[in-house]
Structure 1
């Protein structure tokens, strides 16, 4: 009896979901969910930058220890995002997006109620894994669901969330820091909003790809089993070790925990690409020593398909993602931290000083949405970096100004950087994700986001190394001058990554052509590894 009621209830939910996903509002609702999901993921991170001091006071720990509230999240996010993107391609980006939103909401509530910091840091790390499933699948869904002529517009709309959230998160975090609820406020807010997103996504988003093509259940299970677990493990381990090494480098580059971890991470990271690109030859070698490769190795779907890895513009555009994030976050870090430590502003006021950045990024995204046909993607990304470089050049004049720094330096600098980054982002997504095959959009998004996260970690590591121990410096009589000198040196890094990014996008990015809709070409792209192995096997049998 109870089983029949459960069956009827599930059927009722299924009928409602079918009606929701076939409604004329389906696309707009899903874009709204993607926008809110990505926005609150980043809002949660940005707010924690302003809440580290409050976290340290609440748990009675040092500032350095409290910063692991960001580091633990960043480590797992960067390590798992590419793997989760590939998993989304296999099980369905809409399925993984919905599940990730639900788990993110639950973990936000757990972070808010944890009685000690170690438990808090563990749940933040798990939350980073959920974010790694949320973000790449969200971006991958846009070109799958939207008409081709609207993809650029929807990318620009979603990018508005990225644009507005960075500065807004600092302001909201500063506001919560001034209240009794403290850091817990942002997690309660995130729990409430992400719970609503999860419920609506269950009806509008979950398995929405079936409207175009619904894979058989057995095929999905087989695909999951054929995921390249060895390559995924190498990639995840390498990414995590690089992020940890860069984070530890912010304190000191002379400690073994820093350089040993970083070197091993880099070796694993490049080792993954060797594994990925020479997989067919590796399988042939395994077969030559008498090991049966037909049950697993020959059925493996590589984490990054070779056709995606060597897709036109893919390598330079993922490097551009890293440089773009490095330019943006170094500018943001300098303005926010200079305001707090050199000018002695509160975290809330320091966040308010970033409002021009928010406004210019939103305007830039809006222009890309409504004027998307006016610029080619390669021109859009190069123009974005040119404006960001111009803003960075203004920032290095910091040592020449002692009064009204905001109006003389920060205002125009962040306006140009924000406008440039906003123009770059939707066009870069169009190149990296929009140009990938439908079955590989998740991994394309994941790899781009991985490099973007590495750019952020490199930035924070360099900033921390240049500035040294901020807590020790605050008590010195010449603290203000030391801070001015330190932030001046940090600005050179902003100019360097901006200039390098402009060169990469201006020289290495080429015009893209509309993707080929031929199904045979698509099947060839997805099953390339299997074909190569079969060809080599036939060749070896012929020689025998």
Structure 2
């Protein structure tokens, strides 16, 4: 096992760096696979003779199983070991990637994508749980800055990697890419990441049985809203069932001895406001990437690889500002970074809403996309730290699960709402018609970012560290930062 001896002040130990590197690799694979498929859908349709509904479920099967099982995976990790469940998630994700690459028909591909989502649900919250267990609060922002920025980089690079592999090799390679990463990462996880668990308690089976169908109902309504329509019986029924089951789940958690989601966490302004912010932040960014990729191809006539490359202004800020943004969260507190980041997001999205015409030159998008990328880079580690550090150490796993769930629900919500906004004014009939819809969609994205900025005011300000107390023996006790 790697040494856990403390490093000099301000530095991470070798063990901590291994935890950061391996959890970031896991998160990169998971988020990359959410978007890498986008630029390969046309090739998949051609090779597997898929319908539009088939292509929709190629994306939705992954989103659905991913989002609904995050809380369950976090609870299992607390009970049976976070490292163990994280490793199982990596293995399942890698095996499902093989099944995706070898899929002989679209039905097999959709089924394999659903299994990929199950593996992803085990990776993401447990990566956060392992990371937060490894780093003390005063260094958590730095670590989460790198972790969150790697995740943002995966979101920006997904369409680029998908386009280049599909155009240069074949669409199957977007899935083969995961296999060697998993093969290398799994033994390193066992060697370099120590096991950690939540408090010893029985698994909340009734809570699990209520939460899973509740999440299925809510996510089903979101992913089907564009195709079936918000007023359809399918969407309204799924949404209603999800809301009712969510209420039943919360009622159960209020009386459970070992709740899956302790309601005491919501007494923290950082936890409640932070989960709302990550929902809106991910809704904004996921919806924007979804439409910008299509806008570059449908309205401006670029190919899959060229369209993906044009998203780099969103991807470069996380790469360049990763450690600085996280360190600033440690130094300045979360509130100013989240507020400033969400405002930059709002400005960037609103700017794009003004200039996205059917013949707009690409250079006009460089500044607003860069502003959005910088805003995301500053906000994501700060809001992650605010949520995960809001409770006691034994609640890290549950807080990570709730945070990851809200993040994924936000992504599905963003695509659904921006799609509905697009459909109200635009269509695929011509570049101009598509551009009209895109402008409305980005205006809505800007509004969601503004709502996130308003919510950031509810985050607690940075509290000064208390003066060190003195023990009876006269030795000063370590100062606590939270």
With the length of structure 1 as denominator, give the TM-score of the two structures. Answer: 0.79
**Match for residue 452 of structure 1?**
407
Measured against aligned partners, the alpha-carbon deviations of 1:133-152 in whole angstroms (never above 9, x if no partner) come to: 11111111122112433211
CA RMSD of aligned residues (A): 2.4
**Match for residue 476 of structure 2?**
none
1:58 aligns with 2:8: no
Secondary structure at 2:38's aligned position in 1? helix
> Which one of the candidate residues 391, 395, 398 is aligned to 1:436?
391
| Counterpart Cα distance in 1 of 2:427 and 2:329 | 48
Secondary structure at 2:177's aligned position in 1? helix
Secondary structure at 1:313's aligned position in 2? helix
**Match for residue 407 of structure 1?**
363
Measured against aligned partners, the alpha-carbon deviations of 1:13-53 in whole angstroms (never above 9, x if no partner) come to: xxxxxx44658632212211111111111112220111122
**Match for residue 232 of structure 1?**
208
**1:514 Cα deviation (Å)?**
9.0
Aligned pairs, how many? 458
**1:488 Cα deviation (Å)?**
1.3
**1:263 Cα deviation (Å)?**
1.6
1:323 aligns with 2:280: yes
**1:334 Cα deviation (Å)?**
2.9
Measured against aligned partners, the alpha-carbon deviations of 1:360-384 in whole angstroms (never above 9, x if no partner) come to: 2323433213444442112221111
| Counterpart Cα distance in 2 of 1:257 and 1:21 | 54
**1:165 Cα deviation (Å)?**
1.0
| Counterpart Cα distance in 2 of 1:48 and 1:89 | 32
**1:309 Cα deviation (Å)?**
3.2
Q: Is the 8 A contact 2:138 2:330 kept in 1?
A: no
| Superposed counterparts of 1:441-480, under 5 Å | 441-468=396-423, 474=428, 476=429, 479-480=430-431
Q: Is the 8 A contact 1:21 1:205 kept in 2?
A: no
**Match for residue 245 of structure 2?**
268
Secondary structure at 2:211's aligned position in 1? helix
Q: Is the 8 A contact 2:226 2:420 kept in 1?
A: yes
| Counterpart Cα distance in 1 of 2:169 and 2:336 | 49
Assess, with a 3 A threshold, how the Cα gap between structure 1 residues 70 and 85 changes in structure 2: closer, same or farther. same
Assess, with a 3 A threshold, how the Cα gap between structure 1 residues 369 and 255 changes in structure 2: closer, same or farther. closer
| Counterpart Cα distance in 2 of 1:327 and 1:498 | 6
| Superposed counterparts of 1:338-349, under 5 Å | 338-349=295-306
Secondary structure at 1:178's aligned position in 2? helix
1:248 aligns with 2:205: no
> Which one of the candidate residues 202, 222, 225 is aligned to 2:190?
202
| Counterpart Cα distance in 2 of 1:369 and 1:313 | 17
Q: Is the 8 A contact 2:349 2:372 kept in 1?
A: yes
**1:63 Cα deviation (Å)?**
2.8
Secondary structure at 2:395's aligned position in 1? helix
| Counterpart Cα distance in 2 of 1:435 and 1:266 | 26
Q: Is the 8 A contact 2:299 2:359 kept in 1?
A: no
> Which one of the candidate residues 379, 382, 389 is aligned to 1:424?
379
> Which one of the candidate residues 143, 154, 164 is aligned to 1:165?
154
Q: Is the 8 A contact 2:349 2:368 kept in 1?
A: yes
Q: Is the 8 A contact 1:89 1:441 kept in 2?
A: no
> Which one of the candidate residues 59, 69, 75 is aligned to 1:86?
75
Secondary structure at 1:443's aligned position in 2? helix
| Counterpart Cα distance in 1 of 2:331 and 2:392 | 25
Secondary structure at 1:50's aligned position in 2? helix
Q: Is the 8 A contact 1:323 1:501 kept in 2?
A: yes
Assess, with a 3 A threshold, how the Cα gap between structure 1 residues 203 and 58 changes in structure 2: closer, same or farther. same
| Counterpart Cα distance in 1 of 2:325 and 2:234 | 44
Q: Is the 8 A contact 2:217 2:239 kept in 1?
A: yes
Assess, with a 3 A threshold, how the Cα gap between structure 1 residues 74 and 402 changes in structure 2: closer, same or farther. closer
Q: Is the 8 A contact 2:92 2:115 kept in 1?
A: no
> Which one of the candidate residues 499, 510, 516 is aligned to 2:460?
510
Q: Is the 8 A contact 1:309 1:315 kept in 2?
A: yes
Q: Which segments of 5 or more consecutive residues in structure 2 lack a partner in the other structure?
A: 6-12, 467-482
> Which one of the candidate residues 479, 482, 501 is aligned to 2:452?
501
Q: Is the 8 A contact 1:95 1:206 kept in 2?
A: no
Assess, with a 3 A threshold, how the Cα gap between structure 1 residues 376 and 512 changes in structure 2: closer, same or farther. closer
Assess, with a 3 A threshold, how the Cα gap between structure 1 residues 125 and 480 changes in structure 2: closer, same or farther. same
Question: Which protein is richer in helix relative to its size?
Answer: 1
Moved more, 242-251 or 262-271: 262-271
| Counterpart Cα distance in 1 of 2:236 and 2:329 | 44
Secondary structure at 2:383's aligned position in 1? helix
Q: Which segments of 5 or more consecutive residues in structure 1 lack a partner in the other structure?
A: 1-18, 281-299, 517-544
> Which one of the candidate residues 111, 131, 137 is aligned to 2:126?
137
With the length of structure 2 as denominator, give the TM-score of the two structures. Answer: 0.89
Moved more, 166-175 or 454-463: 454-463
| Counterpart Cα distance in 2 of 1:433 and 1:356 | 29
Q: Is the 8 A contact 2:358 2:431 kept in 1?
A: no
**Match for residue 305 of structure 1?**
262
